[in-house]
Structure 1
Amino acid sequence: MLKNSCALDSMKRSTAVLPDANCVQYYSPGHLAKESFSLMTFKLAATYIAFNSAGTEMLVNMGGEQIYLFDVNSSKHINEIMIPQNLTFRKANLYQPCCKSLDISEKCHDITKVRTPFCLCEYMRRADKLAERNWMGDTYAAAREYLFIIQHCPEESKAYISLIKCLINLKWSKEASEWFSCLIKNFPEMKNLQEVVDLAMVIKTLIVNKGGVDELEKVDPQEKFLRQNSLDYKTRFLGHCNTTTDIKEVNFLGQEGNYLCAGSDEGVIFIWDKYSTEIVTALWGDVSIVNCIQPHPSACFIASSGIDPVVKLWSPMKENNQDNPRIVRNLPTVIEDNQQRMSVDPFESMLANMGYRFSNPGGSFPDGDIAINEVPTCRTS
């Protein structure tokens, strides 16, 4: 939960949360803004925040989660997906014809952005893939895709059903119930379909099992209002792992800030394309962890540091006309391993990291290309 002062809630839980009198706006991914203690055994913290040169975009590296990009001046509130009454329909409808010719990657690590505007089939396939993959934040991301389809193609009943399933998986019983009512209101002929009947039973069970007092009801009314009106993220970036240290930087890269760079727990430096969200390259930057990574303000260099007692400088130019031996070759494996590590308790992850290092001091990197005790050194001047 990011406030105007970029401060985050403490790791300690309190029975009463008092609002900050100076706070004007919260920024938070929707699934994190609404606390769900049945899903999260620990509170997340932002390990680094960076603004672009214009001050219009904000990057947030969430510990134990993904990297999120926020439009500071956005009007996209998280309550749009929580409350059907806030639903805003768009003018342009999605195309109905099936676009079987479009290739959506089947690889679980590579769910690409939609390339064809207003193509119903592509948005549905992307949303379904996200819901199926179920990495950190995927369920909420899928819900956003289904909401987009509903806004542009309100007669698509499948999107309503899929959105409700996402809300059930998020344990949002109230929101799931409201969207179910919206489904029945717009499609009364579906009321007796077995799939819809089953949904009603699941929602009823979820409400009964939830019981107790909603944690959000314990906070101050102003605080509650700010949380429920948090501005949602614009896009997110996946691949790295951020669970082990208190600081893990992320920064804009390039003259126009068209790229992002961040370190990771397994010692890899990731570089993403800001617009496509795809990983441009990944480099082995440290034998253990890359925490700090900073681009040069005017020259084409990146500085990185981790557990090693050195600071490395990186340039896109080849050294001695040789290919960079630090490029991560088996990137999909590294990405999937990182996502699995983030899904476990941080303490367990820390123990796993320690066990890996101590039991395999001379082992190899996850891609098997470079042994840890044979990491190529940077040329010194």
Structure 2
Amino acid sequence: MNRKQVLSSCNIVQLVKQREIKDCTSYRLQQGLHVTEDYVKRLGLEKELEGHNGCVNCLEWSQDGRILASASDDVQVILWDPLLHRKIHAIQTGHQGNIFSVKFLPQSGDSVLLTGAGDCRIRVHDVNLKETTHICSCHTGRVKRLATAPDVPYMFWSAAEDGTVMQFDLRTPHSCSREVNNVLVNLLSHLGRYAEAKCVAINPRRPELLAVGANDPYIRVYDRRMITPTTIQYPPENSLRSNWERHHYMASRAGEGESEANMPLGCVQYYVAGHLPVKQQDYKKKYRNLASTYVTFSADGNELLVNLGGEQIYLFDINSKRKTTKFDIHAEQTNKEHSVSSNGFRNIADGFSGPSSCSNGVSLFSASFPVTVADKKQPPLLPTRVEMLRLKANQAFDFQHFSTAIMLYNKAISLNGNTALLYGNRAAAYMKRAWDGDIYAAMRDCHTALHLDPAYVKAHFRLARCLLELQWVQEAEECLRSFKEKFPGHGHSHACKALCKDIQDAVTPSCDDGELPQDTRYVYDGELPRDSSECGSSDLQFKVQDSISQQERSWREAASDYKVRFCGHCNTTTDIKEANFFGSEGQYIVAGSDDGSFFIWDRKTTNIVRVLKGDDAIVNCLQPHPSSCLLATSGIDQVVRLWSPRPMVQTRDRRQVRAKTNELGTGSGQLAGNERDGSKNDREVLDLDDAASANQKRMNADPFEVMLMNMGYRITSVHSEEGSETSGSEDAAINCRAS
């Protein structure tokens, strides 16, 4: 029984009464009322917890949600009572660097804490004894993430920028010496000397699965049962005295691969957004490095959420391994045998070029097509609500409000996902908006539309255009050739000739294009070390990259594509930015942004539903409460903020507030969005499209301009001239060093 059925089957009063009798009712009530649409609409700031003297880099709830732990650049951990809003205990960790991760050890009664920091150390703290019980110095790089499994006590895992993921068991003796024998994954062996492990997570339902994010666009999910931990043996200690010397010793043996006895080919599954491997070099030319800043599994363990720095947020289905689809001529020939699609229509127009449409989509490869009898067929009959959404989306497209059009098509597809028309229209809007990943999303929509209706003319043509934009020139050429054979009446159109010329130009590029030679396609494509940008030469950057191992090539070729993606935030400045599921069933996705806001997406439609100001500079951490509609956030500010639903407004109170608002000259529309409890919610961003568009500009801005903007300067090429709701945070200076 899903959440809506729980709430509709009987009212809340009856559920509360039955909870006293039946245990199952208690679970249904908690699951159904954990996070609802109404709660999300009323979400507002509840309290600011003050006590830290530096940026708060990580948050963690205890298993029962009674304690919230926060760790900061001030190298202390504070335990909070979230209900009473008071500090329980402050732990001086003894770290010599910024703390990046804090975890409660499972089944320890919330009395054992783990911390990992920039001093390359992991410390284990006993809260009751108020002392540090273990200190581990095995890593030679900053420890960025720690991970635990709910049903696996005494064990934890760590990911560090030395390129290793280590496994610890507190039941066994451990000493940090010149022999490190608990290395579970060594990325240096496969990626080269500049590999870094950025984040790690354990599947809560299948703890044998471990997800690792690195400083490249790939996500790796390992089966720990198939891996034999390896040993790194350093020379005598007197020859390697510093972490840098130890890491240099490890890096000197990078790229050699590993024995299949330690790590067989079938022990890991790779995941990556299909367009990123080919777009990686384009991002590097713009000094944009892709790195996973956070990975987490869903509560049921079937999905993996990834916040990819420099790009978007992606959701992967670990059970359904979807491969990257470009253009399969054999599948296309199979589709030719079916003259009628699954929705009963063929050669349908996409709703943009009908008699009543003036410019909606006409300029997008349709105006130059000769009009045939098939093109004049009416669009399929849709349910009334879906048809209204489609018409509104078409109108938004007419006015070039492409984000609004995409949002409306998302809603329509969530209600009726078997209509090729909707996917074709959304593909056109994606291609016009052209945010990061939009062209690839449009290509996927074209494939879906052609699967539903193989005779969809414009979807086939747009597919060829998308393939060309994604630099898959050979596939684009095959797709266009198939298009001419399948629709000979359109083969001589102006649009078709223009696309054919573009493909021919791409097939024979000039020597000035600056393309890499073919034999560099397997070089390490991760993030370069932080000081590599000082050289100022892209050629030098490529020379210092190491070749990846043969195992790595095989794993990448078998990588699976994403299920859905979430756009609107900006993740370029810090490498600890989180994204999390919100709700007992993961109904919503939450993530922080470089503009000081945090975004809430509807998971089903992928639309932005709320944007709230969570920090004066950057929001890094968002941790939902395990059983209540309570969200903890932190960032550059030295406080922890708690967010919960604000009280509902009674009808009479709403009239009074509205009258008072009118006296002050504030529009009533703002009341509906900002004043649900009679007081103005200054932290709500009303214009969601402007906030998302500004973040997209920020992600594509010059890094030097972003640096100046973080220092408080206003950059006209990044800021909107209209002065959107997000401009206030972008003018603010960062008051402490970002990690």
Provide TM-score, normalisation by structure 1.
Answer: 0.83
Match of 1:69 in 2: 315
> Of 461, 468, 475, which aligns to 1:175?
475
Match of 2:87 in 1: none
Instruction: Letter of the 2:597 partner, please give it.
Output: V
Residues in 2 aligned to 1:343 and 1:260: alpha-carbon distance in whole angstroms: 23
Q: Report SS of the residue matched to 2:627.
A: coil
Give deviations 1:18-37, integer Å, cap 9, x for gaps: 68746532111111133452
Query: 1: distance between equivalents of 2:619 and 2:726?
Result: 19
Per the alignment, in what secondary structure is the counterpart of residue 30 of structure 1? coil
Say yes or no: does 1:25 pair with 2:275: no
Distance 1:61 1:371 in 2: 21
Match of 1:235 in 2: 564
The higher relative CO (CA closer than 8 Å, separation ≥ 6) is in: 1
Which segment drifts farther, 235-244 or 319-328? Answer: 319-328
Cα separation, 2, equivalents of 1:250 and 1:312: 16
Matched, 1:108 2:402: yes
Match 1:128 to one of 409, 414, 428: 428
Larger strand percent: 2
Counterpart Cα distance in 2 of 1:372 and 1:39: 23
Name the CA shift for 1:278/1:195 in 2 (closer, same or farther; >3 Å).
closer
Q: CA distance change for structure 1 residues 17 and 56 in 2, over 3 Å: closer, same or farther?
A: farther
Structure 1 pair 39–317 and aligned structure 2 pair: CA distance change class (3 A): closer
Structure 1 residue runs without a partner (length 5+): 359-364, 375-381
Matched AA of 1:98: P
Counterpart residue number, 2:297: 51
1:305-333: per-residue Cα shift (whole Å, max 9, x none)? 01111111111124975343211123322
2:555 maps to 1:226: yes
Q: Distance in 2 between matches of 1:232 and 1:343?
A: 24
Which of 339, 342, 348 aligns to 1:92? It is 342
Residues 243 and 349, structure 1, Cα contact 8 Å, conserved in 2: no
Q: Deviations over 1:265-311 (max 9, x none)?
A: 11111111111112221111110000001001112211100111111
Residues 215 and 344 (structure 1), Cα distance of their counterparts in 2 relative to 1, 3 Å cut: farther
Secondary structure of the structure 1 residue equivalent to 2:645? coil
Per-residue deviation at 1:255? 1.7
- CA deviation digits over 1:181-225, x for unaligned, max 9? 332443455444443333222112112215731643566555444
Percent of matched pairs sharing the same residue: 38
1:336 aligns with 2:696: no
1:367 partnered with 2:725 = yes
Distance in 1 between residues matched to 2:213 and 2:729, nearest whole Å: 39
Mapped to 2, the partners of 1:17 and 1:7 lie a distance apart of 20
Which amino acid letter does the alignment assign opposite residue 6 of structure 1?
Answer: A
Q: Note the aligned Cα RMSD (angstroms).
A: 3.5
Query: How far apart, CA to CA, are the structure 1 residues paired with 2:695 and 2:727?
Result: 18
Q: Structure 1 residues 342 and 369 mapped into 2: Cα distance closer, same or farther (>3 Å)?
A: closer
The CA deviation at 1:164 is 1.2
Structure 2, unaligned runs of 5 or more: 1-190, 192-198, 201-208, 218-250, 349-377, 381-386, 510-514, 524-547, 648-675, 716-722, 733-739
Q: How does the TM-score come out when normalised to structure 2?
A: 0.45
User: C-alpha offsets along residues 122-148 of structure 1, whole Å, 9 cap, x if unaligned?
Assistant: 222211011000011111111111111
Q: 1:175 to 1:347 in 2, by over 3 A?
A: farther
Q: Deviations over 1:38-94 (max 9, x none)?
A: 45423311111111111101111111111111111123211x225444668697246
Partner of residue 178, structure 2: none
Instruction: Please show how residues 129-208 of structure 1 align to structure 2 within 5 Å.
Output: 129-188=429-488, 190-208=490-508
AA at the equivalent of 2:342: A
> Given the superposition, is the C-alpha separation of residues 292 and 126 from structure 1 closer, same or farther in structure 2, using an over 3 Å criterion?
same
Q: Secondary structure in 1 aligned to 2:275?
A: helix
- Secondary structure at 1:7's aligned position in 2? strand
Assess if the C-alpha contact under 8 Å between 1:305 and 1:312 holds in 2. Answer: yes
CA contact (8 A) 1:216 1:224 kept: no
CA contact (8 A) 2:712 2:730 kept: no
CA distance 1:221–1:317, change in 2 (3 Å): same
Q: Which of these residues, 274, 291, 294, is aligned with residue 603 of structure 2?
A: 274
1:187–1:212 CA distance, 2 compared to 1 (3 A): farther
Aligned residues: 366
- After superposition, residues 317-328 of structure 1 pair within 5 angstroms as 317-318=646-647, 322-328=679-685
The structure number with the bigger radius of gyration is 2
Deviates more, 1:66-75 or 1:103-112: 103-112
| Poorly superposed stretches of 4+, deviation over 6 Å | 1-4, 14-17, 368-374
